[in-house]
Structure 1
Amino acid sequence: MLLAGDIGGTKTHLAIYSSPRELRTPVVDKTFPSARYSSLEVMVKEFLMQVDANIDRACFGVAGPIVQGKAKITNLPWLMDEVELQRNLGIEKVRLLNDLAAMAYGVPLLSEEETYILNKGVVNPQGPIAVVAPGTGLGEAYLVHNGSHYVAYGSEGGHADFAPLDEKEIGLLRFMLERTSHVSYEHVCSGIGLPNIYAYLESTGIYEVPKWLSEQLAQETMQTPTIIKGAKESSMPICVEAVRMFASILGAEAGNVALKVLATGGVYIGGGLPPRILPYLSDGSFMKTFVAKGRMGKMLADYPVSVIQYPNTALVGAASFGFTL
């Protein structure tokens, strides 16, 4: 029996599996609000108390870098250690994976119906695959084929320097530099980043912002859902522009990652945000900045690009890897 987990800054999804052939149908699964728990051990023990299962191995996708079997959640004060988890949970084998590596392991298992194609391109069946995933933060990973199967590698590329493409994005960079000494893509292209784009647009004084919207956002610790709702349902101009800028910046960074790994096997856009803003990703602005790489643009235009719509890709990827332990 395998325990798998997708551990994020906002929520954690735990599941128990009995077979690698049944990754879509766990024996039991449950989602937890991460911030309510002091550690992963506390959460897992609560979960296992509710089920009758003899767990012999576990694999957790973790939102942060893994160094010598140890990890710290990027947006949580959790410290994790494979050896400590084995001892404290009484599980023989425990492995920590970068959460984007876990998502990457799930990508080859996706069906065509579980993705939304932004650019059909031409697939190299064994070419490198890039994964860019804006959720609470911005995760990035890639897959390389070793001759028999794909091997995933996580990265912290979302923390690389933000590179603006036009005057409006230069203004965004200046706005952010007044508030932080380093501006990464995560600062402007994630659940954390979208409110920063909105705040910048509001600071320009160009957009009329209703009083109710300002008051609602001021009361919220997570403003991204309201901004997306304003763009989709209310068609608030400032919200529409914020999401459009987000889609454009995401396209540019996805193109950056595709160039760095020569992602002829495809580029997959994951995370919780892209499925919620598909109209803004499919209207052409994403692909415009994706291919805006000078003489490399024609090459990138041949790369397949898809949005991952299956919500449990990282969990399935962690489970798939876990069964190889």
Structure 2
Amino acid sequence: MILAGDIGGTKTHLALFDWKDERTEPIRTESFPSKEYASLEEILEEFLTPRTPSAAPLEIAAPTAGSGEPSVSSMPPEPTRITAACFGVAGPVIQNYSRTTNLPWVLDGDALAKRFDIPAVRLLNDLEATAHGILLLRPEELHTLNAGTPPTHRQAIALIAAGTGLGESILFWDGARYQPMPSEGGHTDFAPNNDNEIDLLRHVRSHYLHVSYERVLSGPGIHAIYEYVRDTKKNEPTWLAEKIAAGDPAAEIAAAGLKGQAEIATQTLDMFASIFGAEAGNLALKAMTLNGVYVGGGIAPKLLPKLTDGAFMRGFTNKGRYKRLMSTIPVYIVLNDRTGLIGAAATAARLAQS
């Protein structure tokens, strides 16, 4: 049995797989609110502790010596034997060790292996894990934004994913298979493309010393763009302000924008989609990822109607003299929000085999 995990700033997803050579469905999965736990170890203790089903029939043991009646056994279930584990972590991983970016956690793969008696534990950057996962996705788990005309010989692939933060990764072809490279590209400097985005940068800089792409391309980033539009356009309806104050700001803004219920929310999503496309195009240019750009993370599937209305691809291809080249690059939206978990499981399966 192998254990896979996708550790994000909002949710931690864990799963057990009986994975040998090819992708299989998990035997058991469970999600945990990350910020309600002090560490990954605390979550693993809860997930891996054997549970006795409340409605399980009693096990009848053989009669004991000198007794004519059978006895009732209360033997606890056997613990699951884990042969390998891999966790995708939202933060930099160096020598199997990580301090998570959006959580106050420290993860040590070797220490986890020792504590939970697992022969091999590997930590990966979460986007590196997702990159392994996109190679195993089925056609129905992708939405094509741009079919493009990729070259017949294999070139690099890019992955960009917005959620609690912004992650980026590049996959290069080594002659036999694609190899993902970890990256912290989401923390590079935000580069505005027009006067409106320049004013957005000024607005966000009034709150942060450094404005990265993650500050505007993430759940909190949607809220940051909304606050900029609110403060400049003065067009926030009271009912939406109350919903944002009481709930999840990004979710409330997205819902209002997709339904066309508030101009301020629509303007926010227009700006978000354009900047998202522009940074995806930047990543494609930097690595010449002519075989495709995959747009993952938790936000993209939820904003599918907005990302398919043209704003994203206009931002993607708006690269001056390179517009024609950009239009040849395939662009896909990843619909499966467990892609990182699939990639972690594939890595754990290879660890178990070796």
Please indicate the TM-score interval, normalised by the length of the shorter structure.
over 0.9
Q: Which residue of 1 aligns with 2:54?
A: none
| Among 114, 131, 143, the residue aligned to 1:87 | 114
Q: Which residue of 1 aligns with 2:131?
A: 104
Q: Which residue of 1 aligns with 2:182?
A: 154
Does 2:63 align with 1:73? no
Q: Which residue of 2 aligns with 1:136?
A: 164
User: Separation in 2 of the partners of 1:320 and 1:20?
Assistant: 9
Q: Which residue of 2 aligns with 1:119?
A: 146
Shift of 1:304: 0.2
Shift of 1:324: 1.3
Does 2:255 align with 1:229? yes
User: Separation in 2 of the partners of 1:257 and 1:234?
Assistant: 31
For residue 9 of structure 1, give the secondary structure of its aligned residue in structure 2. coil
CA 1:41 to 1:174, structure 2 compared with 1: closer, same or farther past 3 Å?
A: same
User: Separation in 2 of the partners of 1:123 and 1:89?
Assistant: 45
Q: Which residue of 1 aligns with 2:69?
A: none
Q: For residue 169 of structure 1, what is the amino acid of its counterpart? A: E
Shift of 1:104: 0.3
Q: Name the larger-Rg structure.
A: 2
Identity %: 46
| Among 325, 334, 348, the residue aligned to 1:308 | 334
Is this contact kept in 1: 2:156–2:287, CA < 8 A? yes
Is this contact kept in 2: 1:106–1:317, CA < 8 A? yes
For residue 101 of structure 1, give the secondary structure of its aligned residue in structure 2. helix
Shift of 1:213: 1.5
Q: Which residue of 2 aligns with 1:6?
A: 6
Q: For residue 33 of structure 1, what is the amino acid of its counterpart? A: P
Is this contact kept in 1: 2:17–2:24, CA < 8 A? no
Shift of 1:110: 1.2
Deviates more, 1:141-150 or 1:230-239: 230-239
| Among 61, 70, 80, the residue aligned to 2:88 | 61
For residue 192 of structure 1, give the secondary structure of its aligned residue in structure 2. helix
Deviations 1:258-281 (CA, angstroms, capped at 9, x unpaired): 011111110000001111111211
User: Separation in 2 of the partners of 1:199 and 1:206?
Assistant: 10
What root-mean-square deviation, in Å, do the aligned CA atoms of Structure 1 and Structure 2 show? 1.3
Show structure 1 runs of 5+ residues with no match. none
Shift of 1:219: 3.2
| Among 284, 293, 300, the residue aligned to 1:274 | 300
Q: Which residue of 1 aligns with 2:207?
A: 179
Show structure 2 runs of 5+ residues with no match. 52-78
Shift of 1:22: 5.8
For residue 4 of structure 2, give the secondary structure of its aligned residue in structure 1. strand
Q: For residue 101 of structure 2, what is the amino acid of its counterpart? A: T
Paired residues, number: 323
Is this contact kept in 1: 2:21–2:349, CA < 8 A? no
CA 1:194 to 1:24, structure 2 compared with 1: closer, same or farther past 3 Å?
A: farther
User: Separation in 2 of the partners of 1:259 and 1:147?
Assistant: 21
Shift of 1:172: 0.4
Deviations 1:229-271 (CA, angstroms, capped at 9, x unpaired): 1112352110011011000000000000001111111000000
Deviations 1:117-157 (CA, angstroms, capped at 9, x unpaired): 11001234621110000011000011111111111112110
Is this contact kept in 1: 2:257–2:265, CA < 8 A? yes
User: Separation in 1 of the partners of 2:147 and 2:4?
Assistant: 32
Q: TM-score, normalised by structure 1?
A: 0.96
CA 1:55 to 1:104, structure 2 compared with 1: closer, same or farther past 3 Å?
A: same
User: Separation in 2 of the partners of 1:187 and 1:151?
Assistant: 28
Q: Which residue of 2 aligns with 1:40?
A: 40
User: Separation in 1 of the partners of 2:150 and 2:96?
Assistant: 34
Is this contact kept in 2: 1:132–1:254, CA < 8 A? yes
Is this contact kept in 2: 1:20–1:319, CA < 8 A? no
Q: Which residue of 2 aligns with 1:23?
A: 23
Does 2:237 align with 1:210? yes
Is this contact kept in 1: 2:258–2:306, CA < 8 A? no
Q: For residue 72 of structure 1, what is the amino acid of its counterpart? A: R
Q: TM-score, normalised by structure 2?
A: 0.89
User: Separation in 2 of the partners of 1:20 and 1:101?
Assistant: 21
Deviates more, 1:122-131 or 1:272-281: 122-131
Deviations 1:149-175 (CA, angstroms, capped at 9, x unpaired): 111112110010001111111110010
Q: For residue 155 of structure 2, what is the amino acid of its counterpart? A: G
